Amino acid sequence: MAPDLNSTKDLFVFLGKSVFSVLEDMVFTLIPKPQKNVAGEIVLITGAGSGLGRLLALKFASLGSVLVLWDINKEGTEETCEMAQAAGATRVYAYTCDCSQREEVYRVADQVKREVGDVSILINNAGIVTGKNFLDCPDELIEKSFDVNFKAHLWTYKAFLPAMIANDHGHLVCISSSAGLTGVNGLADYCASKFAAFGFAEAVFAETVAQKQMGIKTTIVCPLLINTGMFEGCTTKFPSLLPVLEPEYAVRKIVDAILQEKVYLYIPRVLYFLVFLKRLPWRRLTMPIAPRPMPLQANQAGNPGMMLYFCFHFISHLPIQLVIKSSLLCLLIIF
C-alpha cells in the first residue's frame, strides 16, 4: 500500500509542477526572463581561437567578464585575446591547450587556477568534424572526434566542477549540435560524439539536481549548421525552415540562454518540433537538415509502466523549468 501511496503522491506533485511550469513559461513568453550579471565572472572558453569560440569571447568581453581562452592554435588564441581587449575586456588570459589530451587539460587547468582563479562559467565549445562516411573514416580520425567533441568535456568538468561545487556557484555550458539529437548522413562519428556530449552534460545536470547543488547551472546548446567554415559546402533542403545560421545570431542566442540560465537551447526553434516528431512511433521519417535526407528511428520505450513510475519519481525532484519538458517526455513514452 505504501508504494502505491507514494506513487500517487509523486504523480500529484508532478502534475502540480507541470501546471505551474506551463504558467511560468506563458509568463516568460510575454515578459523577458531576467538576465544574470556576469561581470567579474571567470569564463573559460575552449576553441576560442576562431569561429564561434572567438565570437563568444568578444560577447563576454563586452559584458565585463574575466576571459580564459583555450585553443590548440596559439596564434588564433592570441588574436582573440587582442580582439577581446579591444572589445573592453580588462582581464584576458590566453593558453595553448590541446583539449583532446587529458593530461594537458589537467596541466593547463592547474595553471589557470594558480594564475586566474576558480572558473565560474565553463563553455565547452571546441569541436572538429571529419565529414566522411563511416567506413571511409580512418580510425584515428574517429578517435580524434571523440577526444575533442566529447572526452574533453569529461576532463574539463573534472578539473573545474569541484571548485564550483565548493563555492555553490558555477555554470556548465555544453555546445553540442542538432547532430547530437538525430543522426545525420555522412556525420556518423560527429553525431556519436555530440550525442555523447549531450548525454554527459544532461547526466551531470541530473546529478547536481539530485545532490541539491542548486548553485550549479547547466545550459546545453544544440544549433543547426553554423556558417563558421566548419561545415563549408553544407546546405539544407528547406533553407527558409532550416537555415544555415549566421554565427553572430547563434552567439546572441547562446549568450542570452546562459544569462537566463536556460537548460536547453535548440536553434532554430523548429528543432524543438522536429525532435518531437522523432519520438513519434513511425518506422521512418526523413528530416532535411543535411545535404541528403536521413532516417530517424522510432523510439523504443520498453516497459511503459516502469518508465512512467521512474519519470514521476524523478520529475518530482526536478527544478520547475524542466518539468514541462519532462511532461512531454512522459507523453511520448506513453505513445
Cβ(56)–Cβ(123) under 8 Å? yes
* Predicted local confidence at residue 228, as pLDDT: 78
- When pLDDT is averaged across residues 295-317 and rounded to a whole number, the result is 36
What Rg value do the Cα atoms of the chain yield, rounded? 20
Q: Give the per-residue pLDDT at 316.
A: 39
Q: Which three cell numbers stand for residue 289?
A: 537538415
pLDDT band at 307 (very low <50, low <70, confident <90, very high): very low
| Res. 9: pLDDT tops 90 | no
- pLDDT category at 26 given cuts 50, 70, 90 is low
Predicted confidence at residue 4, as pLDDT, reads: 64
In CATH, what number does 35-279 get?
Answer: 3.40.50.720
Asked whether residue 189 carries a pLDDT value surpassing 60, the answer given is yes
Q: Which three cell numbers stand for residue 316?
A: 518530482
What pLDDT is attached to residue 3? 59
- pLDDT band (50, 70, 90) for residue 323: very low
- pLDDT bin (cut points 50, 70, 90) of residue 322 is very low
Q: What pTM did the predictor assign? A: 0.79
- Summarize the confidence of residues 37-43 as an average pLDDT: 97
Check whether 335 has a pLDDT greater than 50.
no
pLDDT band at 332 (very low <50, low <70, confident <90, very high): very low
pLDDT digit string (tens) for 201-242? 999 999 999 999 999 999 999 998 888 777 666 666 666 677
pLDDT tens digit string along 141-169? 999 999 999 999 999 999 999 999 999 99
More confident residue, 182 or 173: 173
Calpha distance 262→250 (Å, rounded): 15
The arithmetic mean of pLDDT across residues 185-196, rounded, is: 93
Active site annotation includes 93: no
> In terms of C-beta distances under 8 Å and separation of at least 24 residues, what long-range contacts does 102-107 make, across chains too?
102/151, 102/155, 105/152, 105/155, 105/156, 105/159, 106/155, 106/158, 106/159
pLDDT at 182: 86
d(CA 236, CA 243): 7
Give the per-residue pLDDT at 109.
Answer: 98
DSSP 247-287: HHHHHHHHHHHHHTT-SEEEESTHHHHHHHHHHSS-S--EE
- In terms of Cα–Cα distance, which of 231, 232, 208, 233 is closest to 218? 208
- Residue pair 125/219 in contact (Cβ under 8 Å)? The answer is no
Q: What is the mean pLDDT of residues 119-132?
A: 94
Considering the candidates 190, 249, 264, 272, report the single residue annotated as catalytic: 190
User: In this structure, are residues 155 and 102 in contact, taking their beta carbons and an 8 Å threshold?
Assistant: yes
What letters, b where the CB count within 10 A reaches 16 and e where it falls short, cover 89-116? Answer: bebbbbbbbbbbbeeebeebbeebeeeb
pLDDT in the model for residue 225 = 82
Q: How far apart are CA 38 and CA 40, in angstroms?
A: 6
What is the pLDDT, as a whole number, of residue 33?
76
**Whether the predicted pLDDT of 8 surpasses 50:** yes
Collapsed DSSP state (helix, strand, coil) of residue 11: helix
The pLDDT value recorded for residue 122 is 98
Q: What pLDDT digit, counting tens, does each position of 88-111 carry? A: 999 999 999 999 999 999 999 999
pLDDT band at 313 (very low <50, low <70, confident <90, very high): very low
